[in-house]
A and B are shown apart, each in its own frame.
Chain A
Amino acid sequence: KNEVEQSPQNLTAQEGEFITINCSYSVGISALHWLQQHPGGGIVSLFMLSSGKKKHGRLIATINIQEKHSSLHITASHPRDSAVYICAAARGAQKLVFGQGTRLTINP
């Protein structure tokens, strides 16, 4: 079993839908990162959180430390949100353990 599991692996939705991507981890962490990988391959950091909730525009990330679970939500989804979303658990001084990613496709 991977230390970091994401679900679903693939998600297709219609423009405007509310999107939820889940991330579960099996070990203690100091923080959790959400990253976005564009179709062209570039990776951008979206959030880094260690408790509670963060919001940036239409994106919201939450984490429940006790349940070892984090979610990434996208409100009013748009085709430009189509990308691979990756969660990564911060373990130890330098180590990030990455999930395998969720491929999101938003159709117009």
Chain B
Amino acid sequence: NAGVTQTPKFQVLKTGQSMTLQCAQDMNHNSMYWYRQDPGMGLRLIYYSASEGTTDKGEVPNGYNVSRLNKREFSLRLESAAPSQTSVYFCASSPLTGSSYEQYFGPGTRLTVT
């Protein structure tokens, strides 16, 4: 099993460009999450999907959209990138809905917006 995979690993964008971060899991998990990690801030939840067909906003959703394409895949889209979105982005999945279940993290995508 590959676990949780993310593409790309690194990306540099210019302000105003758009891009989609891809995430896939092969563990048949119901819930999937997108986090961003900034120095001194800890991980913060952007969006989550409790189950296939549902998505909800987290703590910092502005400037992002998500799609739960199927049970395996959960993508994060930046429509018009801004320097404030420079961060490391982690996708995670969990077998069941709820924060009391262990989450499995992808390797991260390091995004720089210039």
Check A44 for interface membership: any CB of B closer than 8 A: yes
Say yes or no: B97 contacts A100, CB within 8 Å.
Answer: no
Say yes or no: B103 contacts A96, CB within 8 Å.
Answer: yes
Q: Kindly state the separation between the CA atoms of A94 and B107 in the bound complex, as whole angstroms.
A: 21
Check B111 for interface membership: any CB of A closer than 8 A: no
Say yes or no: A98 contacts B43, CB within 8 Å.
Answer: yes
Say yes or no: A42 contacts B43, CB within 8 Å.
Answer: no
Say yes or no: B100 contacts A94, CB within 8 Å.
Answer: no
Interface residues of A (CB under 8 A from B): 2, 4, 30-31, 33, 35, 41-45, 48, 50, 86, 88, 90-96, 98-101
Interface size on B, residues (CB 8 A): 28
Say yes or no: B41 contacts A31, CB within 8 Å.
Answer: no
Interface membership of chain B positions 31-70, coded 1 if the CB is closer than 8 angstroms to chain A and 0 otherwise: 1010000001111110010100000101100000000000
Q: A41-B88, A43-B105, A94-B50 are in contact. Are A48 and B100 (CB under 8 A)?
A: yes
Question: In the complex, which residue of chain B has the Cβ closest to the Cβ of A100?
Answer: B42
